[in-house]
Amino acid sequence: MYRINRKISLISFIILFYVITLAAYSNKYPLDSNYHRTKDIENSIKKWEIEYPNVFYSEILGYTGKDKMPIRSFKISFDPKVKSFDKPSILIIGQIHASEPLGVEICMRFADYLLQNYQNNERVKSLLRSFSFHFIPTINPEGFEVVSSGIYANHRKNKTDINSNNRFDRGIDGVDINRNFPLNWNNETQKLPHDPHYAGESPASEKETQAIIDFMKRERFYLAINYHSSYFGDLNERIFFPWNWSGAKSPHWYEMKAIASIISKNLKKDYSSANYLVHTGNTTKVGFLRDWSYAETGTFFFDIEVGGIYKNKSIIFPDNANMHIIVDKNIKALINSFEYLDINTSIVKIIDSKGKPYILSKVHYNTLKQDIVKPLLSNEKGLLFIFWPPDRKQLNLYINDRKYLIKKSKSKNIIIKLIN
């Protein structure tokens, strides 16, 4: 009788463990209690402004078109109110699609980690000496409010009133901001306003798009990361970058692939022992933020799809415990990847024949022929920041149509003196 009872108890434990595991690895909507809501983001920014005035600065980039909600950004850097030209800037975007809230958590909690540790943690100190960090928790505050408040889980767009009936029709209204950028805008196949990927009535028609365009042009970031999640499970745990259009690759595809590979190396999948996949196949040729940003400003831009697959189901709204696990490992991956980026970045100073900084000079990097990609610009101190893939020892820069060969060295600083 004892053996039978013990066997029944063991079976009961196994069943209970299986049920608990299934419950833990599942979506929870409305979002669990530890997720940020709109008011939480606002309160955190206000709190950080008071507690960390020496390293924190916030601004409003613009307002949404429908509800006039602020599109908030903030900067974490030593002397944050001054634009630093001596070090590169990095942008972290929590989300552009409303139904993808995990990225907001990574964005906000990475910022909090930097702020809490910059005084005593040598690794964080070093990162802030090497980079200026900018954050946008959400490019899409209207849509984020819809999802985070529990109204509707699968709303990816903003709230543009596309049928002009003066009310919000969930699942119908809105423009996909990540299809609304000018480069390749007219290639979007989902033309009907109610389509989930509807790209808007014209390129950059949305206030959110316009605000980000102005911001990207102003800052000319060295690197940007935009977090996504795959609602239907077809793109989970992958890293995308500009571009591979049926074999036609971007001029700096190789460099971006090297950085993506480091991110992947540091980032395990949620429910398996494998690492994130670096997507090297064909990419869609539509109005993506990543492609426009790279082509227009030279920013090395990465879309990271967070949220794993468990038993053939996409888990993008995990409960509090699993959300924190996912966020923590992403923060560690960011730190490791940015340290690698720092080690492999050179500061190139361009001076004229008299030794003066050559300000805002157009520089082609790798090749002189870049029909879509605009040349890089040296900054207001004549500096340019160049990433070296691990196996590259030299590269060509073209300035005023003249080729200059630079070589990787132990020193981070390289000087190019222009020839008359």
For the stretch 103-135, what's the b/e string if a residue is b when 16 or more beta carbons lie within 10 angstroms of its beta carbon? Answer: bbbbbbbbbebbbeebeeeeebeebbebbbbbb
- The CATH H-level superfamily of 38-343 is Zn peptidases (3.40.630.10)
Q: Tens of pLDDT along 274-327?
A: 999 999 999 999 999 999 999 999 999 999 999 999 999 999 999 999 999 999
With a CB cutoff of 8 Å and minimum separation 6, the contacts of 370 are 251, 364
Helix (H) or strand (E) holding 254: helix 253-265
* CA distances from residue 139 to 3, 209, 222 in whole angstroms, order as listed: 61, 8, 19
Angle at which helices 38-51 and 141-148 pack, to 10 degrees? 120
User: What does DSSP say about strands 345-351 and 413-417: parallel, antiparallel, or unpaired?
Assistant: parallel
Tell me what pLDDT residue 2 has: 44
Q: What is the pTM of this model?
A: 0.93
CA distance 238 to 253: 16
Helical residues (DSSP H) of 149-252, grouped into ranges: 207-219
DSSP annotation of 121 reads -
With a CB cutoff of 8 Å and minimum separation 6, the contacts of 263 are 239, 276, 302, 304, 333, 337
Which residue, chain included where needed, has tokens 């030299």?
394
Q: Tens of pLDDT along 367-403?
A: 766 789 999 999 999 999 999 998 899 999 999 888 9
Tell me what pLDDT residue 266 has: 98
The answer to whether the peptide bond before residue 30 is cis (omega within 30 degrees of 0) is yes
Classify domain 345-417 by CATH number.
2.60.40.1120
CA distance 146 to 158: 9
Tell me what pLDDT residue 192 has: 86
With a CB cutoff of 8 Å and minimum separation 6, the contacts of 42 are 72
Tell me what pLDDT residue 23 has: 56
Tell me what pLDDT residue 5 has: 53
Helical residues (DSSP H) of 25-121, grouped into ranges: 38-51, 102-117
Domain locations in the chain as residue ranges: 38-343, 345-417
Q: Does 345-417 match 38-343 at the fold level? A: no
| 231, β-bridge pairs | none
Residues of the chain with pLDDT under 70: 1-23, 368-369
Helix (H) or strand (E) holding 13: helix 2-24
Q: Strand (E) positions, 137-270?
A: 223-228, 238-240, 244-245, 248-249
**CA 403 centroid distance within chain:** 33
